[in-house]
Structure 1
Amino acid sequence: MKKVILIMALFLGVTACKVNPFTGKKMLNFYGNKQIFPMAFAQYDQFLTENAVVENTAESRMITKVGQRIASAAERWLNANGFQGYLNDYKWEYNLVKDETVNAWCMPGGKIVFYTGILPITQTERGVAVVMGHEVAHALADHGAQRMSAGTLQQIGAVAGNVAIQDERKRNMFNQAYGLGSTLGIMLPFSRGHETEADRIGLQIMAIAGYDPTEAAELWKRMKTKSGGQAPPEFMSTHPSNDTRIQNLTAWAPLAKQEAQKFGVTTFQ
């Protein structure tokens, strides 16, 4: 049994690599679009039936407008860099939902939700573009599928340990240590890496779409003020700290503008 589990883990690790078009790095991902997108689309449709979707308002139309510009910019970049057809399976959809939660998200395949609670933070169309670019970047980089893949490997490791350790006391100690160690040492850094990657890709895409990328750092300054500076230590969080994001986004904004210039974009909204 132990050999079977180890062989499965090795097989998945070797065969589950896909290249991230924006970074050129291999990604851990053994869930293809045809597997994960239908599930995501079904969950999205179910979510919309259970929540208050805001329609035909200036704010909801702005969400759609920005989303379409960001998706178009992403396609321009992908086509220019040899990834024609990368978005063929994506079904972009943008909805504003009445909810005071300060959040937005994008499911695999391009299904996006903004909560009304984040609009006081975004403030303007440019602010919406910051969040939209970040969320679209998660979908483009297959972060959802990668998290599922990492979670599967984490479970395989736990099963392997429990099969290998016969002594109940030692097995309990292993489970406690493995759960904490794999979470703090692997899963949380993995998640923070995705957030940082989405920040950088999103900044680039919003600039190509014609939105000023310097707004990103300003938005996170507002987010920091909103939170009152209260946050867990970065190593215990799924996201980088506000200060880390502000520092990164400030440094990356000029590079995003340079990338946009390759597409003839020299002025920004």
Structure 2
Amino acid sequence: MLIRCFIHSCEAIVVRAILLALLLGSLTACVQSPTGRSQVLLFSENDMQRLGEQSFAQLKEQETVSKDRALNGYVQCVTNQLVAELSGGGQWEVVLFDSNQVNAFALPGGKVGVYTGLLRVANTQDQLAAVIGHEIAHVLARHSNERVSRTQLANIGLSAADTALGQSGIRQPAMAALGLGVQVGYLLPYGREQEAEADRLGLELMARAGFDPQQAVTLWRNMAAAESGNQPPELLSTHPSHGTRIQGLSTLLPQASNLYMQARAQGKQPACAR
């Protein structure tokens, strides 16, 4: 009975904390993503741009930058083709990091980072475009701002719960439980929603640039083969499982293929050589 009351008490505190966070969120900037999904953004575009630029500068100091001119030119070429389809265009800074990581990212302020390890899995220009397009889509949809804002609101909620529990003997284990509860039940599922949105927007972007969207599915099959047995359970991951992602992309292919055919008819035929 004591354990049950403790759990119910924690649940009540979590609910109050999250309601407080959501209330604060409703009083701040509520906008819509490019797909029409409601977003809460606490920070300005200038704030996020400065954060992106600072983070990118720090990464360039910490990581080894590749000096392979051919590979750098290849990654820049693919990125340029994608950025040309963006409203306002502009020149994005692209850096290739010499690392075995199978990864890439994009940051507010027009920054793209690609790790050489990714090129072992993204075997073609179209597959590389699928990854970079996905990462650029995160920036276009202001996911960084959204993520930081959600984390900020969750922290406010946890602070309220911390105050409510005071200095009682159950404070430490309760806060640990609340932290896990908020992380899994509130923040991480939201991250998966962002991933699905970036998949959709990225697929459309690569298709409009003349890259074959079918290759996005092939890419994630490559990823599944390369990371077999190394992926965490989907429940505790911000990224969907490879199978879930492949299924989602497959349902989006008909529309993306139409965009691809239109781009080809307009003479958009990327020829980025590695």
TM-score range relative to shorter protein: 0.7 to 0.9
Distance change (3 Å), C-alpha of 1:49 and 1:166: closer
1:82: which partner in 2? Answer: none
1:240: which partner in 2? Answer: 240
The offset of 1:11, in angstroms, is 3.6
Instruction: Give the letter aligned to residue 71 of structure 2.
Output: E
2-side partners of 1:247 and 1:218: how far apart? 12
1-side partners of 2:248 and 2:267: how far apart? 22
* Deviation string, structure 1 residues 76-97 (Cα, Å, up to 9, x no partner): xxxxxxxxx6x7xx76211111
Q: Is the 8 A contact 2:213 2:260 kept in 1?
A: no
* Deviation string, structure 1 residues 65-117 (Cα, Å, up to 9, x no partner): 11111112132xxxxxxxxx6x7xx7621111101111111112221100001
Q: Which moved more, 1:133-142 or 1:159-168?
A: 159-168
Q: Is the 8 A contact 2:21 2:153 kept in 1?
A: no
2:54: which partner in 1? Answer: 42
Could you list the runs of 5+ residues in structure 2 that have no partner in the other structure?
A: 1-17
The offset of 1:267, in angstroms, is 7.7
1:105: which partner in 2? Answer: 105
2-side partners of 1:94 and 1:41: how far apart? 12
The offset of 1:13, in angstroms, is 2.9
The offset of 1:49, in angstroms, is 2.8
Normalised by the length of structure 2, the TM-score is: 0.84
* Deviation string, structure 1 residues 25-74 (Cα, Å, up to 9, x no partner): 22121111111211211221232133222246221111111111111213
2:256: which partner in 1? Answer: 256
Q: Is the 8 A contact 2:40 2:149 kept in 1?
A: yes
Distance change (3 Å), C-alpha of 1:92 and 1:267: closer
1:79: which partner in 2? Answer: none
Instruction: Give the letter aligned to residue 248 of structure 2.
Output: N
Whose Rg is larger? 2
Q: Is the 8 A contact 2:24 2:153 kept in 1?
A: no
Distance change (3 Å), C-alpha of 1:223 and 1:265: farther
1:141: which partner in 2? Answer: 141
2:65 pairs with 1:60:
no
Q: Is the 8 A contact 1:9 1:156 kept in 2?
A: no
- The size of the alignment, in residue pairs, is 253
The offset of 1:201, in angstroms, is 0.7
Identity among equivalent positions (%) equals 35
* Deviation string, structure 1 residues 110-144 (Cα, Å, up to 9, x no partner): 21100001101011111110111001001111111
1-side partners of 2:62 and 2:91: how far apart? 21
Distance change (3 Å), C-alpha of 1:187 and 1:212: same
Q: Is the 8 A contact 2:221 2:246 kept in 1?
A: yes
Q: Which moved more, 1:40-49 or 1:27-36?
A: 40-49
2:3: which partner in 1? Answer: none
2:182: which partner in 1? Answer: 182
**How do 1:66-215 and structure 2 match up within 5 A?**
66-75=78-87, 92-166=92-166, 168-215=168-215
CA-atom RMSD in angstroms: 2.5
The offset of 1:6, in angstroms, is 8.1
Distance change (3 Å), C-alpha of 1:167 and 1:56: closer
2:29 pairs with 1:33:
no
1-side partners of 2:266 and 2:235: how far apart? 38
Distance change (3 Å), C-alpha of 1:129 and 1:7: closer
Q: Which moved more, 1:96-105 or 1:259-268?
A: 259-268
2-side partners of 1:235 and 1:243: how far apart? 14
2:26 pairs with 1:13:
yes
2-side partners of 1:28 and 1:167: how far apart? 33
